[in-house]
Amino acid sequence: MPRQNAWIILAFLFTPALLHPLEWALIRHPYAIDKMRQEIDSFWKKGFYPVGLSVVPPPAEQSGSYVLYLKGGPFTPARWTIRRYSDLTAVREDIQDKVDSGWTPQDISVTGSDLYVLYLSLTNRVKEWRIEACGNGLEDIRNAVEPLFREEFIPMGLSLCESGAWVLAVKIDGLSVRRWQITECDADDDLVKDNTDAAVASGWTPWGISLSESRLRMLFVKFRD
């Protein structure tokens, strides 16, 4: 498992399968939210925007805040923010307030005591959003996402723990995907890079992440032209 600040995976691919040049990065940041925000800001200033978030609290060996970044792709957000919710009874109301203020919930991370939500500010309006609970197996997640996908929700993020999983899905005005998939592999730098590079070369956009017990699950989508 990578050491603190050692997990830095960067890749750039531009193939005929992609309408937009796409650069991606998967970075391990500190667990502390203030330090995490500072480091995300540094990547933001380099043109990377966060699309995936998985927070692993101490004392886990892999403790840290893992952020999936894109540069290029189908849109450019104007702003980003991360909220940490300790009062889970107020989460849905607060997320809706953020949506009403023009923010798009992009990914979620449940740590047991807290819920983290990554938001992006897009020009596209959010029409509807949902967070659904399901089992933590790949087939459980697929069965939870597929009915939402058929209703034109975009699978945005996921979070796993021993007891289950949570899936974030959003309907966004003027933005839709034609395919989606979820993959799983060991959280090994070379393996993650090779798998993600291969997916991007085939036209997939890495879109959400969840790290649990040294296993990384990643959402991919293919946007409509």
Mean pLDDT along residues 135-149: 95
State the sign of the Cα–Cα–Cα–Cα dihedral 91, 93, 95, 101: negative
pTM exceeds cut of 0.85: yes
| pLDDT for position 82 | 97
* Phi, psi of 208, deg, nearest 5: -165, 155
Query: Contact, 11 vs 24, CB < 8 A?
Result: yes
Confidence of residue 20 (pLDDT cuts 50, 70, 90): low
Give residue 31's domain range: 8-223
Task: Output phi, psi for 50, to 5 deg.
Answer: -80, 135
Q: Residue 1 domain-assigned?
A: no
Residue 2 falls inside a structural domain = no
Asked whether residue 182 is domain-assigned, the answer is yes
pLDDT at 130 over 70: yes
What is the number of structural domains in the chain? 1
Look at residue 38 and tell me if it is in a domain. Answer: yes
Q: What are phi and psi for residue 13, nearest 5 degrees?
A: -135, 140
Q: Is residue 33 part of a domain?
A: yes
Q: Which pLDDT does position 162 carry in this prediction?
A: 76
End-to-end CA separation in angstroms for the chain = 38
Q: Tell me which amino acid residue 114 is.
A: D
Structural domain includes residue 22: yes
In a domain, 3, yes or no: no
Question: In sequence order, what are the residues at sequence separation of 6 or more whose Cβ sits closer than 8 angstroms to the Cβ of residue 58?
Answer: 31
